[in-house]
Amino acid sequence: MRSSSARDENKIIRYSYQKPGYVRMDFTQPYSGAVLIFNPVSGKVTLWPFGVDTLPVLHLLPTNSLIQDERGHRVDRSDIGVLLGNVRHLQREGTTTVVAEERLAGRETTHVSVMGPGKLTVDGVHRYDIWLDNYHGLPAKVISYAPDGQRLETVLLDAMVINTRFPVNFFTP
């Protein structure tokens, strides 16, 4: 996952998800080597700032500001399902427009724009431009916008692998 904010803050994260809500983030940028794991059973986040099996190890709540980004995104609300739920919320009373069929990073995608009515926002977002991969239907790229049209964030979901098998202790090292 590659993310850039309106302030040109860039992130590169290997993001892994396993039902029923386990999340692992291996950071390349800006915190190279840091690993963050959310356990939905305990509701806790374990953070290794300098990599797994190194000290210190921090055990935090997902609401801790230390592990939220500049827009308040939380690891326990970071998966594609949450994104698609936000999009559906804007769609209910807003507008959805198919913009074009486009090739993105070697993949065939459908570019869709979803805008809420009036100044309605969900998590501060009034409009999403989404490129859905035509093969599996999941987002390949998402750009979010504020009500004033300002770009909030661009996220590229490149090299996505679906239905992968993780090592036994991948989410509980």
Query: Does the structure show a pLDDT above 90 at 173?
Result: no
Q: What integer pLDDT is reported at residue 7 of this predicted model? A: 81
Residue closest to 171 by CA, chosen among 16, 48, 57:
16
Write out the DSSP string of the chain.
-EEEETT--EEEEEEEEETTTEEEEEEEESSTT-EEEEETTTTEEEEETT-TT-S--EEE-TT-GGGS-TT---GGG-SHHHHHHHHHHHHHHSEEEEEEEEEETTEEEEEEEEE-STT--BTTBSEEEEEEETTT--EEEEEEE-TTS-EEEEEE--S---SPPPPTTTT--
Report if pTM > 0.85: yes
pLDDT value of position 69: 83
Is residue 3 within 8 Å of 13, Cβ to Cβ? yes
Tell me, yes or no, whether 59 and 100 share the same domain.
no
- Confidence band (pLDDT; 50, 70, 90) for 9? confident
- Tens of pLDDT, residues 44-85: 999 999 999 899 999 999 999 999 988 888 999 988 989 999
Residues 14 and 47 in one domain: yes
156 residue type, one letter: L
Q: Tell me if 173 is assigned to some domain.
A: no
What is the number of domains present in the chain?
A: 2
Cβ atoms 87, 130 nearer than 8 A: yes
* CATH code, domain with 155: 2.50.20.10
- Expressed as residue numbers, the domain containing 31 is 1-73
